Homo-oligomer: A and B are copies of this chain.
Amino acid sequence: MSITFEHMFYLTRREHFNAAHKLANPKWTDAENLKVFGGCANPNWHGHNYVLFVTVKGTPDPETGFVVNMKAISQLIKTHVLDLVDHKNLNLDVPFMNNIIPSTENFAKAIWQQLEPHLPKGQLHCIRLQETENMYVDYFGE
């Protein structure tokens, strides 16, 4: 399915949080993980200031001029994402990341799955997750 941008407004809310993680495939040895993931496989973890951009789409309500009330979106993100990941270890502390290698790709998809059921069908448009100032992932659902 291709995406139709027209006749739509896209609202983006930016949030941020901090977390520790490591990238390692549990089926591999430390040496194999180090070879593939480099310093990201450091057994004692490393961490990031993540920046999260959540984009929802729709048509403004003529009574308010709002597609959605950003405060409600912000509260949803807080409840279903930030409260679970901020100042946490993504590998150890976050139930929705259980058994998932916390690559930016996998983490972005997991955040989509945390938010999508709490929004009207079709409203969630994109999760952009920025891990460093030089890298980010966009995910539009599946």
Contacts and interface: CB of A to CB of B under 8 A. Distances in A.
A104 B9 CA distance: 10
Contacts of A67: 105
Contacts of A40: 87
Contacts of A10: 137-139
Contacts of A21: 47
A141 B6 contact: yes
Interface in A1-49: 1-16, 18-21, 23, 25, 36-40, 42, 44-49
Contact of A137 (B9, B16, B46): B9
Contacts of A1: 4, 6
How many monomers of this chain does the complex have? 6
B13 A108 contact: no
Contact of A15 (B3, B6, B87, B134): B134
Contacts of A132: 16, 18, 49
Nearest to A86: B39
A65 B101 contact: yes
A88 B4 CA distance: 34
A65 to B, nearest CB: 3
Interface of A: 1-16, 18-21, 23, 25, 36-40, 42, 44-49, 55, 60, 63-67, 69-71, 86-89, 92-93, 100-106, 108-109, 132-142
